[in-house]
Structure 1
Amino acid sequence: MNQEPTSSVLEHFRQQWQQEVHARTQQKPAGGSGHTRTKSEIDQVVRSERPITKPATRHPLADQHTEDNVEPEAYGRSTATEKLERLAIRDADEDEFSKLGRDEPKTALEHYERAVEKEGQGSLGVSLSHYRRAFRLDENVDKAYKEKHFAHKWKQPKPNPSNAAPTVPSTAHHSLAEAGRDSLPRTTAELISSWADCDIPNAEPMIEGDIPPPCPIRRLPTEVLLELLRTIAIRDVSVFARLASVCKSLAFHVHSENSIWKRVALGAEFGLASQNYHFKTDIQGRPVIWKALEDDDEDERPVAPIPAQLLSEAQDYRELFHSYPRIRFTGVYISTVNYTRSGGTSVTPATWGSQVHIVTYYRYLRFFRNGTLISLLTTHEPLEVVHLLTLENLAIVRSGNTKDSANTHHFANAGYTVSTHPNAPPPSAQAILKHALRGRWRLCHDSLESIEIGSNTAVPGDLHIETEGGAGPRYMYTMHLSLKHGNTKNRLATKNNKLVWKGFWSYNTVTNDWAEFQLRNDKAFWFSRVKSYGLGY
């Protein structure tokens, strides 16, 4: 095969290519300075990049930036490049950028500020580290931080005191005068008095823009309206008190109508006339006859002696109703007792410690208007017990006991059978009520002579309770309690909702002996409203 023509063509192409490359390397580069490649270097590059059997396919402009040893300072930096080089990520757990070159905190205050900043960003580990460094440098750094960042709020100028000279400048006095705040009522009594001329507003229409429904009570004369409010207060004093939230006019009558509160405070529905200051029944609930057979006086013994100073017209009967000692009949008084005792010791060596038992039991006292009460000591919770404490349920349970006689004080140790009365509570409820005790109660009054309860002398506001004994018919329990307010600091808080222990005894009616119970774990009784009791009638 004749290869001579092909060799001559390739040699001619190689020479022409070398001349072109040599001509380009003689020219000065546009972007900067560089050294000129030799022929041997060019041949080496061409041989490594171009196969000798194919023509060149690369454009000559592609080789302008392939020169070596080009210094980067020769090319100008753009503004965007410089800004990007000055940015960096702070931490791995942060999703924002910050400038480099932020100085690390050196002083204790700087470490504390950095810790607060990191804590706000959620970096709790970094924050804790700065907190430790700050307190190592200065143990009072937190005070310095508050002084720096919050002192401007503490040091704000205060308005002039009331006894300051009139020449002392103060913007507070001017702002109050401009806003008209001096004319506003300063006490609750003044605010209520300002509602005296208010009318009962109409009801809002069912549909916006429609004619409002009629309000007949708005047209009633004041005398008729007060008589209506008095009837509501006698029926349910809580409903009467809630009328104050209806409108300003009714709120004025509820708070300031002393004649209505006098009827409530001294009445037999909720007031002092409903209280028993003498025993009206025996322990079994049978009425007590006060008059002797040879006594010709037909007047009964007073039920509710009231001091003369309470009957004054100037007395605030609303405050009297809330503050004077008074037993509530719309609920039950509950004492929750919790204490711990040690359990049995384990004989195994793997025991971590001795066992501890948490004991919880409840005492219930429900008072009735006729002078009787029900006392119950049980471990069952109030949800299971309170709706069972009625005289009807207790009578049904007692009737199911065949060994209980009319003269027996207590039957807990007697034989117990489930009652089959049609209205009898379920067997589980009867099992709870079989431990209930019947009793009687009375309040001590300052107009009465001093009363001895057990080994104590009763004072006004004390409560005397006598119940059946748990050890047999010859015993009787005597409780000495005191009516208190749950929250003495708040004048508007609920009153007469707490019974505090003052003594608890067991009395033997045969030997006339007294034995005192040690109330080491017992707590005070707290009143709890029960809706199923109604008004306690």
Structure 2
Amino acid sequence: MAASERADLPGDSEDLVRFREQWKAEVRKKKLGLSSVDSGPSASVTNAVAVDGSKGTGQPLRTEGSPQAPATRDTTYVSTSVANSSGSTPYSVALTRAVEVYRRAVLAEQQSNLDEALGLYRTAFRMDSNVDRAYHKIEAQFHSVPVQPQTLRKTDKHAVDEIAQAIKALDLHSSFVPAGQNNGAAITGTLANLLAEWPRSLSFAPEDEKEAVPLQKIPYELLLHVLRSLDTTTLERFAKVSRKARVVTLDVSIWRAHVQATYKPPQIEDEEELDVLVHQYVGDHRRLFIEHPRVRMDGVYIAVCHYIRNGLSENTWVNVSHLITYHRYLRFYPNGQVLSLLANEEMPPQQVIPMLKPTLRMKGLYIGTWRLSGAIVYITSLLDPSPPSHSGTRYAFQMTLELKSRPVGRWNRLEFRAYDSVNIESGEATPLVLKHERPFWFSKVRSYIQSSG
């Protein structure tokens, strides 16, 4: 398009006219199937005209027979700069600044800073009404530029350095936290970052400065002896009292005792696996106790199941439906024994839980064995403990459940994965259809705490 042709387009800005010329040149090149760009003196003239774009020069762009490509084909954009490899600017200074403002607006929108993004968008369009077209054109050209191998290696190295710095900032390695005069604990994760900002010398402070603090006078060894006798829930409640209480409860002897008492067969495959777990959690026994799967034995897992049964009615115009509710109970013992009870709605949990023991004899009760592998609980050899003469055909049952954590607690949910009936004589397992089954939810029972320890 010559300068005379551009004059016939009133109201169009010079940048818009230049975009149209470049677009037409690209279309012509695609039609001709040209794959190279001439680097002779004529190309410099063409680029100068394309960059300048001023009216009255009378110098046209290359025609259809020209082997040249528009100047934008030779442009390489680095970061947020709008510059080509020769150092010249492909667009006017005003448009370049407008594109930079538009780019900042896009970044603000991606970061959900909508108010800031809206203000930057308005500013960019006031600077140039065609800023959006220029921005998208620049981005398309930037992503189409092939990356040289050396540049790629530098980019990868920079990305690796950033990832390494981010991992280092997370402080995933052990951080020694003093928890007394001669005792300490290996603390990892976000808690280590929090404790690193606390002062080294901490003490119990009263709510009222005029009052005394008897806890401050207790020897540290005696305080640890008291804390070792607490269960983990009570221990964490005490830790919320103050910073000093939090640091004291992190003593390695407290959590090591809980870990050793909990993670042993059938919670783990063998006792040697405990050393592997401690090494895996970098000696942080508290974090191991919280994050590693374990079957809880300080309560009972309960599944509340419902189904609807059609009833009988003397009135043909009335349909009667009964909502049937029943409960499944699972109680685990440290010696590998498990109790499974199926009870109807006539016996509520308040009545069943106190008498759910191995000595219980009632319909729907089965006693078997359990083991934990990863997060999968395998329950096998579920048998009716009543005498064979009263139980009829002898069948055993087995369950496969998955242990999960939900926001209300740790490892407090058991989901069915399989439920089979096993013929004792033949050993054949028959899957049972689970129509109305629901997941088990853990419910803590105070009277179970002592027996589970």
Deviation digits for residues 238-262 of structure 1 (CA, Å, limit 9, x no counterpart): 22211212221111333x5455434
Give the structure with higher Rg (CA).
1
TM superposition shift of 1:462: 3.0
Alignment of 1:45-444 (within 5 A): 189-203=192-206, 212-218=211-217, 220=219, 224=221, 228-229=223-224, 232-233=227-228, 235-254=230-249, 256-258=250-252, 260-265=254-259, 267-268=260-261, 271-273=262-264, 275-277=266-268, 302=270, 305-306=273-274, 308=276, 310-311=278-279, 314-344=282-312, 346=313, 348-349=315-316, 351-352=317-318, 354-379=319-344, 380-392=347-359, 394=360, 433-444=362-373
Letter in 1 for 2:227: I
SS of equivalent to 1:232: helix
Q: How many residue pairs align between the two structures?
A: 264
Equivalent residues of 1:341, 1:357 under 8 A apart: yes
Shift of 1:385: 0.8
Q: In the alignment, does 2:417 pair up with 1:502?
A: yes
State the 1:519 CA deviation. 0.6
- Does the 8 A contact of 2:278 with 2:284 survive in 1? no
Structure 2 CA distance for aligned equivalents of residues 309 and 376 of structure 1: 33
Letter in 2 for 1:387: P
The residue identity in structure 2 corresponding to 1:199 is L
The answer to whether the Cα contact below 8 Å between 2:266 and 2:334 also exists between their aligned partners in 1 is yes
- How far off its partner does 1:229 sit? 3.0
Structure 1 residues 71-124: Cα deviation after superposition (integer angstroms, max 9, x where no partner): xxxxxxxxxxxxxxxxxxxxxxxxxxxxxxxxxxxxxxxxxxxxxxxxxxxxxx
Q: Secondary structure at the match of 2:274?
A: coil
Aligned residue among 519, 522, 529 for 2:434: 519
Counterpart residue type for residue 194 of structure 1: E
Alignment deviations for residues 283-328 of structure 1 (CA, whole Å, 9 cap, x no partner): xxxxxxxxxxxxxxxxxxx457336253357243322211212111
With the length of structure 2 as denominator, give the TM-score of the two structures.
Answer: 0.51
1:371: Cα distance to partner? Answer: 1.6
- The verdict on how the C-alpha distance between 1:464 and 1:303 changes in structure 2, with shifts beyond 3 A counting, is farther
CA contact (8 A) 2:267 2:295 kept: no
Which residue is 2:406 aligned to? Answer: 486
When residues 200 and 372 of structure 1 are mapped into structure 2, their CA distance, relative to the original with a 3 A threshold, is same
SS at match of 1:534: helix
Match of 1:44 in 2: none
Amino acid at match of 1:365: L
Q: In 2 relative to 1, CA 444–234 (structure 1 residues): closer, same or farther, beyond 3 Å? A: farther
Q: Which segments of 5 or more consecutive residues in structure 1 lack a partner in the other structure?
A: 1-153, 162-186, 279-301, 399-432, 446-459, 488-492
Q: Which of the residues 363, 383, 394 maps onto 1:474?
A: 394
Identify the residue that residue 69 of structure 2 maps to in structure 1.
Answer: none
Q: TM-score, normalised by structure 1?
A: 0.43
User: Once the 2 structures are TM-superposed, how far is the Cα of residue 531 of structure 1 from its aligned partner?
Assistant: 1.3
Question: What is the CA–CA distance in structure 2 between the aligned matches of 1:501 and 1:329, rounded to whole Å?
Answer: 19
2:334 match: secondary structure: coil
- Paired position in structure 2 for 1:405: none
Residue segments in structure 2 that go unaligned for 5+ positions in a row: 1-112, 121-189, 386-390
Q: 1:483-505: CA deviations, max 9, x gaps?
A: 11124xxxxx5221111101111
Letter in 2 for 1:355: V
C-alpha offsets along residues 196-219 of structure 1, whole Å, 9 cap, x if unaligned? 4353334457xxx9x634525446
Contact 2:327–2:343 (CA<8 Å) still a contact in 1?
yes
Identify if the C-alpha distance between structure 1 residues 313 and 510 changes in structure 2 by more than 3 Å, giving closer, same or farther.
closer
Output the amino acid matched with 1:264.
Answer: H
The question of 1:528 aligning with 2:416 is answered no
Contact 1:201–1:218, Cα closer than 8 Å, also in 2: no
Displacement after TM superposition at 1:468 (Å): 0.7
Partner of 1:273, secondary structure, is coil
Which structure features the higher share of strand residues? Answer: 2
8 Å CA contact 2:227, 2:254 repeated in 1: no
- How far, CA to CA, are the matches of 2:241 and 2:268 in structure 1? 37
